[in-house]
Structure 1
């Protein structure tokens, strides 16, 4: 009987004592640091170069904008916000701002529409597809000076090819270098010529990764090519559309080459009818005024304008991209109650399991 009592298993269960944490060696610490730090080291060259070529000039321009700074004398006395007030008081600044916004609308909107349409055509089963896809990139390779010189001759007032073609159909010639809206159309045409093919290839790359099963299902459901484009293609490439719209907005608001080379003088016309804000800044810094302080103030106001328009554009694009059927909103109180119920059920299951294990032992 005593022997039987000796071999009787104990009803209680004592948990094992926790082991003291083992100290990591130097090699293990280096391995952990490598996993945590190496990704930041890989991307650090970009941010270092961006800080030197982007953030530092931006901060230095802000310092220059509050001083009376000229080309010969250098830094003068501190004037604070006077440079900004002087720029805002000039009518030519507001005219250049209106010209910039007008050219932006005439170039960015048609550019995105034509680019996505061209990409949809290139996404079809075409013969020599590689040739056509690379052909749309040729205008982007051409130098901006060459594009401006060629289009400057095409849109010439006296001997331009466009006016010659208008004369053959009985229309009066257009003063491309005299009329304000006509000059904006001509400059926007140059911008669209250069950047439409580039954006079309971006859209094409996004369309190539759209699952073909979606098109097959749409075809079975009876959807035509146009319906498939708006119901399948556009929703699948919304993020790419947002990217292209934002980059096109930033580029068109900073346009300089095309209006600078549209005529021989390069000052935006006799009445500054196509002078953009960047061209106005260039004229303030290197023209008759030679005032770097005011030019820096123009640069910072343009930066704020581009940032504001880009932010509004991004928010609108995000809203369009996220439009559609949304899941119903759940209150925080409901979420907390569901979590509490789940924790209680888990605790009850754990207690039941431990009790059963003790009984079996």
Structure 2
């Protein structure tokens, strides 16, 4: 006589789903543990300071005593602070003097490096080398090169029979010197980015342009620039953010004073002085968030201008075809 064995009861749907979730957690736990150090460090040294600076911007704190809440007083003083607006003006002037020539030279250099020339790798390393060179050391070198009394530039101008220029003692001389430092440092960096974008352009376009009889200048303006618009937009936005955050060049070249008449006082240098020289961390945080808003607005404007021109250029051939 045989006895029937009872079949094991199948788990219910909620229990099966819970089991699958636990199994997925066990499988993914080692992965999460492996990447957790980055997120922990970012939370401690990145996210927490950002959130804490928002709180500090509404307070008056010298870094040691009690934190007193003052509401919008820091931002109200910011709007009437002449030194802050002077720093804003200096920053925008230096940005204009440096960013436009820098991106133009970078695009031209990338276009030339993209051609079939000898020693291409050597040129790439040479142009990128300034970006990895210590900016502190190079600021000292630039201070010697553009010195009013014994600088190499003024010595060369004097030898040519031209008058010397007070580079580091006049307002425009200081701004031009800082702009030249920025151009020297980041032209090669942006050229490498442009070169990567050029290598993604189909060679058929260049071959067709050459067959049609286009010269080098026409190929550059009619083929390279239109195809590079997304890359140019990226470099414009990053250069804008970097230009508005300028600190190392004026600080090492001119010190915390910003030079004669505070002509080299940028927004970040002014914020550094308020927070870490005057120990007014509340006002320094307010300046930092004002800089964030300025950079965001300026980046949006640049994006709309560049992308708007790109869209208009794309619509023009379609309108011509429709008229035909």
| TM-score > 0.5, shorter chain as reference | yes
CA contact (8 A) 2:198 2:228 kept: yes
Cα deviation per residue 1:274-321 (whole Å; 9 max; x = unaligned)? 11111111111122x321111111111111111111111111121122
Which sections of structure 1, spanning at least 5 residues, go unmatched? 1-22, 329-361
Alignment match of 1:267 (pick from 252, 257, 262) = 257
Deviation at 1:253, TM superposition (A): 0.4
Q: Structure 1 residues 48, 219: closer, same or farther in 2, change over 3 A?
A: farther
- Residues 264-343 of structure 1 correspond to what in structure 2 (within 5 A)? 265-287=255-277, 289-326=278-315
Distance 1:322 1:96 in 2: 35
Give the match's secondary structure for 2:265: coil
If the length of structure 2 is used for normalisation, what is the TM-score? 0.84
The aligned counterpart of 1:72 is 64
Distance 1:27 1:221 in 2: 67
Distance 1:45 1:309 in 2: 34
Which sections of structure 2, spanning at least 5 residues, go unmatched? 1-12, 320-324
Once structures 1 and 2 are overlaid, which stretch shifts more, 41-50 or 202-211? Answer: 41-50
Alignment match of 1:155 (pick from 146, 157, 161) = 146
Please state if 1:208 is matched with 2:182. no
Please state if 1:183 is matched with 2:196. no
CA contact (8 A) 2:110 2:195 kept: yes
Q: Aligned residues, how many?
A: 301
Q: What RMSD, in angstroms, separates the aligned Cα atoms of the two structures?
A: 2.9
Deviation at 1:177, TM superposition (A): 1.6
Please state if 1:63 is matched with 2:63. no
Deviation at 1:86, TM superposition (A): 2.0
Give the match's secondary structure for 1:323: helix
Give the match's secondary structure for 2:162: coil
Give the match's secondary structure for 2:68: strand
- Residues 80-95 of structure 1 correspond to what in structure 2 (within 5 A)? 80-95=71-86
Distance 1:144 1:311 in 2: 29
Alignment match of 1:99 (pick from 86, 90, 100) = 90
If the length of structure 1 is used for normalisation, what is the TM-score? 0.76
Distance 1:57 1:178 in 2: 37
Deviation at 1:93, TM superposition (A): 1.1
Cα deviation per residue 1:84-127 (whole Å; 9 max; x = unaligned)? 22233222111111111111101111110010001011111111
Q: Structure 1 residues 307, 50: closer, same or farther in 2, change over 3 A?
A: farther
